[in-house]
Amino acid sequence: MRVLVTGKDGQVGRELAALPHTEFEMVMAGRGDCDLAREESIRSLVRRVAPDAIVNAAAYTAVDKAETEQDLCFAVNATAPGALAEEAARLGALLIHYSTDYVFDGTKGGPYVESDPVAPLNTYGASKEAGERAVAAANGRFLVLRTSWVYGSHGKNFLSTMLRLAQERPEIRVVDDQIGAPTSAGAIARATARLLRQYALPSTSVPSGIYHMTAGGSTSWCGFARAIFEARSAGANPQAVNPRILNPRVVAITSEEYPTPAKRPKNSRLSNDRFNLFFGFHMPQWQEQMAEVVAAVRQPNLVSFLRTPGERE
């Protein structure tokens, strides 16, 4: 089975590339192979590769910058997935596409389910919501997997930012009134491989639709930061490191005390019930995923990891 993966250099793309896919022929595409802002570039890539399945791990994820780059953000997050979905439908291939908790406004009292009305607060969320609709409109076989707060051992993300700040200051102020499920890129990649195994063959019936696929449990950004430092301290050699650097004081603040160009939802919790029921497995708890990533970055490549440039959701 040939699987075309876009966004090979992103957080999820790199984890997909690192999986042992003995049963898949993975064709990994990056920006150099296909510019997702150019529709003809997408169509010619898909026609050239002729995949059985496509995993679209590419996206415009610079949430704050999107407020001033709306056209580019919509081209990559809405038009491009639509073109991928049309090409997939033409081939009878399954498209797996990722979306986000940011399609919601965060005012619901409990976890969001797939049928809840969308109401994005920012350009990025609106573009991803438009992407979901474009994928569905192609009438092919597709899975839109909404996930949240993605981080991993590659690229710049919340975890890498916290570890970098811990080297620079004894106290870090972190937003405590946004609640969600930090989900590791590795866990997303492993779940994606499982879905491909189960549903990519044309002979299997594909339950096309939107599914919430986040880590189990939830926390605030502040809770996530504290847990990261605790996990790092727990595995560290106290003789080898400065304990203040490992464990800075994390001060809880409100979203209003940390203004950003793009507004974020306060409640980002997504219910995975539909995913669990349909696919028959659960995503691991966020603490378990975080411990795995902290262990992966603790040792050899920490310095280069901390220095990787970029801006992520």
Interface with ligand NDP (CB under 6 A), residue total 29
CA atoms within 13 A on the CB side of 168: 9
Among 16, 46, 59, 225, binds ligand NDP (CB under 6 A): 59
Residue 79 interacts with ligand NDP (CB under 6 A): yes or no: no
Residue 105 interacts with ligand NDP (CB under 6 A): yes or no: no
Residue 186 interacts with ligand NDP (CB under 6 A): yes or no: no
Residue with nearest beta carbon to ligand NDP:
10
Find the shortest distance in angstroms from Cβ 235 to ligand NDP: 24
Q: Which residues pair with 112 in a beta bridge?
A: 270
Among 27, 66, 76, 159, binds ligand NDP (CB under 6 A): 76
Find the shortest distance in angstroms from Cβ 34 to ligand NDP: 6
Residue 312 interacts with ligand NDP (CB under 6 A): yes or no: yes
Give Cα separations from 202 to 75, 198, 229, 260 (angstroms): 29, 11, 46, 45
Among 150, 250, 262, 270, binds ligand NDP (CB under 6 A): 150
Q: Which CB atom, from 112 or from 246, has the smaller least distance to ligand NDP?
A: 112
* String of contacts with ligand NDP for each residue 1-20, x by CB under 6 A: ------x-xxxxx-------
Q: Which CB atom, from 100 or from 267, has the smaller least distance to ligand NDP?
A: 100
DSSP state of 255: G
Burial class (CB in 10 A: 0-12, 13-18, 19+), 216: middle
d(Cα 164, Cα 273) in Å, to the nearest integer?
35
Burial class (CB in 10 A: 0-12, 13-18, 19+), 72: middle
Contact segment (CB under 6 A) with ligand NDP among 59-67, 84-92, 221-229, 254-262 equals 59-67
Q: Which CB atom, from 98 or from 221, has the smaller least distance to ligand NDP?
A: 98
Torsional class of 259: left (φ above 0), alpha (ψ -120 to 50), beta (otherwise): beta
Find the shortest distance in angstroms from Cβ 231 to ligand NDP: 19
Q: Which CB atom, from 59 or from 134, has the smaller least distance to ligand NDP?
A: 59
d(Cα 142, Cα 159) in Å, to the nearest integer?
31
d(Cα 179, Cα 287) in Å, to the nearest integer?
14
Among 4, 28, 91, 98, binds ligand NDP (CB under 6 A): 98
Residue 98 is a catalytic residue: no
Q: How far apart are the first and last CA of the chain?
A: 32
Selected catalytic residue, list 102, 112, 124, 199: 124
CB count within 10 Å of CB 48 equals 12
Instruction: Write out 210-228 in H/E/C secondary structure.
Output: EEECCCECCEEHHHHHHHH
d(Cα 166, Cα 148) in Å, to the nearest integer?
24
Among 79, 122, 123, 148, binds ligand NDP (CB under 6 A): 148
CB count within 10 Å of CB 1 equals 17
Q: Which CB atom, from 30 or from 202, has the smaller least distance to ligand NDP?
A: 30
Residue 81 interacts with ligand NDP (CB under 6 A): yes or no: no
Q: Which residues pair with 274 in a beta bridge?
A: none
Among 16, 57, 138, 195, binds ligand NDP (CB under 6 A): 57
Residues noted as catalytic: 124
Query: Using CB under 6 A as the criterion, which residues of the chain lie in contact with ligand NDP when the complex forms?
Result: 7, 9-13, 30-31, 34-37, 57-61, 76, 98, 100, 128, 147-150, 155, 185, 312-313
